[in-house]
Structure 1
Amino acid sequence: MGNSEAVFFSRVLTELTLSFHIIYATIGVGIPLMIMIAQWVGIKKQDEHYILLARRWTRGFVISVAVGVVTGTAIGLQLSLLWPNFMELAGNVIALPLFMETFAFFFEAIFLGIYIYTWDRFENQKKHLLLLIPVALGASFSAIFITIVNAFMNAPQGFDLFKGQLVNVSPIVAMFNPAMPTKVAHVLATAYMTSAFILASIGAFRLLKGSNHIYHKKALLLTMKLGFVFSIATAVIGDFSGKYLAEYQPEKLAAAEWHFETEEGAPLILYGVLDNGDVKYALKIPFGLSFLAHSNPTAEVIGLDRFVEDETPPLYIHYLFDVMVTLGMWLTVVSFLYIMGARWKLRFIFSTWFRWLMVLGGPLAVIAIEAGWWLTEVGRQPWILRRIMRTSEAATSSGHVDLMLMLFSILYLILGIGSVLVLWRMFRKNPVEQELADRDADKAGDLR
């Protein structure tokens, strides 16, 4: 295997691992907050359904955590095996956030164990709720620290470059780089949003399949409200991300928007196809890109004409941008319609077709997350460490990466199918109606 093949397979394996891991990582970050909110609402309203909601979500969450640990470990392993030159150069800079991410995960896991073990040991549910605060914080900080590593790769700082080595390293300065605020905020908001829509799609699916229990209706309304709130937050942070790119990574913004020539009053291009350098069938929003980049409709936006061709990202990232934005808007609209429909008791929210739209919300949110991460990673190319080290320079020269790719593909296939089957059987054998009936029977027995 030649060096170019090693680079290719290293990139494919890393992309496969990240694409698989991001599903479980997103659930791992977002679900603890959903559990905490459900339990808090249950305590506030003195409603057993929300307490049970928190319990059942926790059972499923534990399975996703287990798979997330495996894939997260795989990423750590692959950083050293597939990208040894990158780790040799930047390892001492990113070691701190990597260590902090591990610490945050342990913090989360310890309190999650205590929370599960003490389900029936607290008469005062408010005290039990307190255990969820470190779980949710640990999950979110785990995402924050690992995202900081990614932000550093996009906006490296906190060191001097001397004879190809990073010296005078300041890990704190490196961590608080210009890319950090928007990246961290975007990752957290999208994780909460996606988790809410996944849980909403489960509730909608149960209603579609004939269960008319109030438990599922409460779950659906709560999660659609949360999904709407975080989809709005995601859109606002996305606007800040555009402004960050315009200032610090203009070549990435230009490639994502097919903005070929530097100009004032630049239009925002959505959809379309590229035909021999010409954009066809696109939706152009006049002055949109100038406003996105600088909050000024007549501002100048740097185009791809200012960059050498071998330092510009692949132009297909425009399609990833389209997918991410379109699905985000779609989820916002569907959740808003459901909330308004529930508020005014409109009949369309009970229709089969609308419930199917909500069922689709979960998978579509995951696709939006995937498109966003591919846009982030591919949009940084050809650099692994922007303006310092190219991806081709960072990869291993090993001739066995193709074998690793095959083995890891089999592992992810087993983990993916296995986790879905375990979750399916767990909840199918223990439906909420049965659990509520058993609980009522236990209460009646205690009264006797």
Structure 2
Amino acid sequence: MSNLLAARSLMAMSLGFHIIFAIIGMAMPLMMVIAEWRWLKTGDEVYLTIAKRWAKGTAIFFAVGAVTGTVLSFQLGLLWPKFMEFAGPIIGLAFSIEGFAFFTEAIFLGIYLYGWRKVSPHAHLAAGGVVALSGITSGVVVVLANGWMNTPRGFTMINGLPANIDPIAALLNPSGGLQALHMITAAFAATGFAVAGIHAFLLLRHPGNAFHQGALKIALAVGCVSALFQPLNGDFLAKQVAEYQPLKLAAFEGQVHTQKGAPFRLGGIWNSEKEAFDYIVEIPYALSLMLHMDPHGEVIGIKEFAKEIWPPIGVVRTAFQIMVGIGFFMMGMAVWAAWLAFKTRTLFQSKLFLKALVLSIPLGFIATEVGWVATEVGRQPWVVVGYLKTAQAVTPMPGISVSLIFFAGLYAFLAAIVIWLMWRHVTATPTQFEMQMKGSAHDRI
């Protein structure tokens, strides 16, 4: 394995593992706060139980996310020194904000976990709100930095070096804002459906359980609202990609040749010998209509660009198709949930829907992973588009394959520990949890 491939594989594995904890850290605090707010509003002890259990789950994911995030920060410097030398002065502000948000989240999560009965109700709820806001802020600024890598702004090149640096302009790059919005809704949809699926599984085992019904309602509301908005902001993001990164958009959509009245394509397998897609289904004029609101609008094709800057087209196209397919499936689940909740009033009684929710548990995370594959691989061979190639940014240090094997084992171990802890946490019997909640009348804030 080449040094470049080993470094890219190690970074991809670390990011792919960390992103699960990052998106849960963005969404779980919000649901935790909603549960506490419902308890304060209604006085229903079920919501207090939900808030406390979700807070413990949030703490577990936060702890592991902190470890994997620290590993990533070291890997950025050790594996990609040329990237950090080039980009550090420009997007360093984003990582400074992310660090501040992380420490704020840690402090207020501690207050939330141990502040029951020690601070006022509104102060405790506010602490949870700060945890939620800090988690979202951490994710947003990192995505803004990634957006800068796709559409670099905020500097000029003088004698081969960045100068006249404006870190605010760098953060306000054309890609970052829409990418951040897409990431937030993806995090809420993935986590909401995953948590709803877990409680749906437990409802199938314990029908009528008030705890699981209340938890499912909150999680499903967060997941469904986000899933319904996701295709909309995805459409805005696609238009932005078409304007600023036409080669990536062409790879996403399987657009080989520049064409007016371009069709929307479903499926397809990239044939590198023919430089075309096989087994593809076309919907006439649909892509031009979506991108330009004009069925005869022009869409730039892959072959408009030099072959040496083509990304791995088959990987990018496949990842994008999986993401879109899962997104529409989750949107359909959201519509189904709304029908059952508001029209037939059988949300908790529909075993078919509850089983579908259980099957949906991993889908949002899979969509997020393949979405990042499409975004990052679609930028190749560039690490900073137009300025620095990935091959130029990698460290010359040998032996990265050994680190790849070590971290694969480490992440597998961490994943097993987290799954074991969360399984014990979510399947605690009602009796066990009621014992924990004994005397809850004296445990109010």
Q: TM-score, normalised by structure 1?
A: 0.93
The Cα of 1:445 is off from its aligned counterpart by 9.7
Are 1:106 and 2:125 an aligned pair? no
Question: 1:246·1:294 contact (CA, 8 Å) conserved in 2?
Answer: no
The Cα of 1:347 is off from its aligned counterpart by 5.6
Instruction: Give secondary structure in 2 for the equivalent of 1:266.
Output: coil
- Matches of residues 43-442 of structure 1 in structure 2 within 5 Å? 43-122=40-119, 125-275=121-271, 276-316=274-314, 317-345=316-344, 350-428=349-427, 430-436=428-434, 439=437, 442=439
C-alpha separation in 2, matches of 1:445 and 1:385: 57
C-alpha separation in 1, matches of 2:225 and 2:442: 42
CA 350–93 in structure 1, closer or farther in 2 if over 3 Å, else same: same
Could you tell me which runs of 5 or more consecutive residues in structure 1 were left unpaired when the two chains were aligned: none
Instruction: Output the aligned Cα RMSD.
Output: 1.9
The Cα of 1:221 is off from its aligned counterpart by 2.3
The Cα of 1:367 is off from its aligned counterpart by 0.4
* More deviation, 370-379/287-296: 287-296
Question: 1:43·1:126 contact (CA, 8 Å) conserved in 2?
Answer: no
Question: 1:256·1:318 contact (CA, 8 Å) conserved in 2?
Answer: yes
The Cα of 1:346 is off from its aligned counterpart by 6.0
Query: When the two structures are aligned, how many residues end up with a matched partner?
Result: 440
CA 392–51 in structure 1, closer or farther in 2 if over 3 Å, else same: same
What is the identity, as a one-letter code, of the residue corresponding to 1:277?
E
C-alpha separation in 2, matches of 1:37 and 1:108: 17
CA 443–30 in structure 1, closer or farther in 2 if over 3 Å, else same: closer
CA 444–183 in structure 1, closer or farther in 2 if over 3 Å, else same: closer
C-alpha separation in 2, matches of 1:138 and 1:320: 30
What is the identity, as a one-letter code, of the residue corresponding to 2:301?
G
The Cα of 1:47 is off from its aligned counterpart by 2.1
Instruction: Give secondary structure in 1 for the equivalent of 2:361.
Output: helix
Question: 2:213·2:348 contact (CA, 8 Å) conserved in 1?
Answer: no
- Per-residue CA deviations over 1:55-97 (Å, capped at 9, x if unaligned) read 1111011011111011111111111111111111121112111
The Cα of 1:211 is off from its aligned counterpart by 4.8
Instruction: Give secondary structure in 1 for the equivalent of 2:340.
Output: helix
The Cα of 1:305 is off from its aligned counterpart by 2.2
C-alpha separation in 1, matches of 2:345 and 2:58: 33
Match of 1:17? 14
Instruction: Give secondary structure in 2 for the equivalent of 1:22.
Output: helix
What is the identity, as a one-letter code, of the residue corresponding to 2:176?
M
C-alpha separation in 1, matches of 2:323 and 2:108: 34
What is the identity, as a one-letter code, of the residue corresponding to 1:420?
I
What is the identity, as a one-letter code, of the residue corresponding to 2:258?
T
- Per-residue CA deviations over 1:219-263 (Å, capped at 9, x if unaligned) read 212222221110122111101110101110000000111101111
Question: 1:17·1:75 contact (CA, 8 Å) conserved in 2?
Answer: yes
C-alpha separation in 2, matches of 1:343 and 1:233: 19
C-alpha separation in 2, matches of 1:438 and 1:99: 39
C-alpha separation in 2, matches of 1:421 and 1:260: 47
- Per-residue CA deviations over 1:421-448 (Å, capped at 9, x if unaligned) read 12222344x4345424664x526899xx
What is the identity, as a one-letter code, of the residue corresponding to 2:296?
T
The Cα of 1:353 is off from its aligned counterpart by 3.7
* More deviation, 398-407/267-276: 267-276
- Per-residue CA deviations over 1:129-186 (Å, capped at 9, x if unaligned) read 1111211111111111111111111011111112221111111111111111111111
Could you tell me which runs of 5 or more consecutive residues in structure 2 were left unpaired when the two chains were aligned: none
What is the identity, as a one-letter code, of the residue corresponding to 1:283?
V
Question: 2:224·2:331 contact (CA, 8 Å) conserved in 1?
Answer: yes
Question: 2:178·2:236 contact (CA, 8 Å) conserved in 1?
Answer: yes
C-alpha separation in 1, matches of 2:147 and 2:395: 23
